[in-house]
């Protein structure tokens, strides 16, 4: 990384062209048992992981973001029967090994968030350490410690992120890329710019001069039917205008946010803005579509993780994966 931009070792710009994926069980059904939908997609994808990642690569995808969480780390608390912590870690490593063998970058992201994060975040760190140690030295694997912090102040966010950086850089000795979600479900950037500057400076000090963090951004249509000029202007003022100075990447660009109106026309317009303007002209470092295989309108595949559906999947392929610049993975 140089300044706000990601590069391969040979100096070629690296643009993230990826997808989020629910591949590892990471939450329960709300009553302490396994979630049916999550069990279903895990059962489809884990045994076929090599084929799934090959299919992703054939679409031009270069990065996959996989959700995990400490809540189901000891799977006896959720009922997925993975074999306890050792079994959970093996599933995580199996996905990492399979994806990176295909030349894909992998981001493991922890689904711990919310207003309790400042009080509880240290209790989530040990699992992160276990995963980092299990993965070992794999340069194609990166980490996103927190997903969508919300209902916390910029100062609280800064405290959590600084403590997290200390853990990764000093306790674990991890010097690779960390993706850092901002506040308001990772929608805001400029709102906490002083805190962002402080966190970036903190990582620079820990890294011996240059920070190695990327800030994550999320977006959904919610109730918007089309991506209007007004919405573009707001998105630029809140996020992409800062991408000319700070490293920012979209780690969750979705089709549906429960309770809103599902309409892929918004995504077509938003993806066009990302591929035609935000990446080549504003400095955004690409993005990841939410979600590969799932049981609602976000799913890019239907009942087969090896086949895009005719709705969201085709829109992602034609308006995003096919439009972002490609370069061979190194």
101 domain-assigned: yes
CATH number, domain at 163?
3.20.20.80
pLDDT tens, residue by residue, 259-271: 777 889 999 999 9
pLDDT score recorded for residue 327: 52
311 domain-assigned: yes
pLDDT score recorded for residue 17: 97
Q: Is the peptide bond before 291 cis (omega within 30 degrees of 0)?
A: yes
CA-wise closest residue to 127 among 184, 185, 175, 84: 84
CA-wise closest residue to 196 among 246, 152, 235, 241: 246
CA 26 to chain centre: 15
pLDDT score recorded for residue 3: 87
2 domain-assigned: no
Q: How many CB atoms lie within 10 A of CB 34?
A: 19
pLDDT score recorded for residue 329: 44
pLDDT score recorded for residue 261: 73
CA-wise closest residue to 80 among 125, 42, 130, 133: 42
CA 151 to chain centre: 20
Cα 265 from Cα 298, distance rounded (Å): 14
Average pLDDT over residues 222-250: 94
Taking the alpha carbons at both ends of the chain, their separation in whole angstroms is 14
Q: What's the domain range around 278? A: 16-321
pLDDT tens, residue by residue, 6-47: 988 888 899 999 999 999 999 999 888 999 999 999 999 999
In this predicted structure, the answer to whether residue 180 has a pLDDT above a threshold of 70 is yes
pLDDT score recorded for residue 310: 92
pLDDT tens, residue by residue, 99-142: 999 999 999 999 998 889 999 999 999 999 999 999 999 999 99
Average pLDDT over residues 217-230: 92
CA-wise closest residue to 253 among 17, 6, 1, 14: 17
37 domain-assigned: yes
Cα 167 from Cα 172, distance rounded (Å): 6
Q: Give the single-character DSSP code of 13.
A: B
pLDDT score recorded for residue 200: 98
79 domain-assigned: yes
> What's the number of domains the chain is made of?
1
């Amino acid at each position: 990384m140089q300044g706000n931009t990601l590069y391969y070792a040979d100096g070629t710009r690296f643009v993230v062209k990826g997808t989020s994926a629910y591949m590892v069980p990471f939450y329960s059904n709300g009553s302490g048992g396994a979630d049916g939908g999550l069990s279903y997609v895990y059962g489809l994808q884990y045994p076929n992981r090599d084929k799934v990642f090959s299919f992703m690569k054939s679409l031009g995808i270069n990065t996959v973001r996989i959700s995990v969480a400490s809540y189901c780390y000891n799977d006896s608390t959720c009922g997925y029967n993975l074999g306890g912590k050792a079994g959970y870690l093996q599933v995580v490593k199996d996905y990492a090994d399979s994806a990176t063998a295909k030349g894909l970058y992998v981001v493991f992201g922890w689904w711990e968030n919310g207003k309790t994060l400042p009080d509880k975040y240290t209790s989530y760190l040990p699992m992160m350490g276990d995963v980092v140690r299990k993965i070992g030295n794999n340069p194609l694997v990166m980490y996103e410690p927190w997903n969508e912090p919300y209902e916390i102040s910029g100062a609280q966010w800064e405290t959590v992120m600084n403590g997290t950086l200390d853990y990764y850089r000093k306790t674990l000795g991890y010097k690779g890329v960390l993706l850092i979600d901002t506040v308001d479900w990772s929608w805001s950037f400029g709102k906490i710019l002083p805190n962002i500057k402080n966190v970036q400076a903190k990582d620079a000090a820990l890294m011996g001069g240059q920070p190695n963090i990327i800030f994550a951004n999320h977006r959904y249509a919610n109730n918007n039917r089309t991506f209007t000029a007004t919405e573009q202007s707001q998105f630029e003022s809140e996020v992409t205008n800062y991408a000319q100075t700070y490293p920012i990447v979209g780690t969750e660009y979705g089709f549906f946010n429960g309770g809103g109106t599902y309409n892929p026309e918004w995504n077509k317009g938003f993806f066009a803005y990302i591929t035609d303007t935000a990446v080549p002209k504003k400095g955004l470092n690409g993005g990841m579509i939410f979600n590969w295989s799932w049981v609602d309108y976000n799913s890019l595949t239907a009942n087969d993780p090896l086949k895009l559906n005719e709705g969201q999947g085709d829109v992602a392929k034609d308006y995003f994966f096919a439009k972002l610049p490609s370069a061979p993975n190194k």
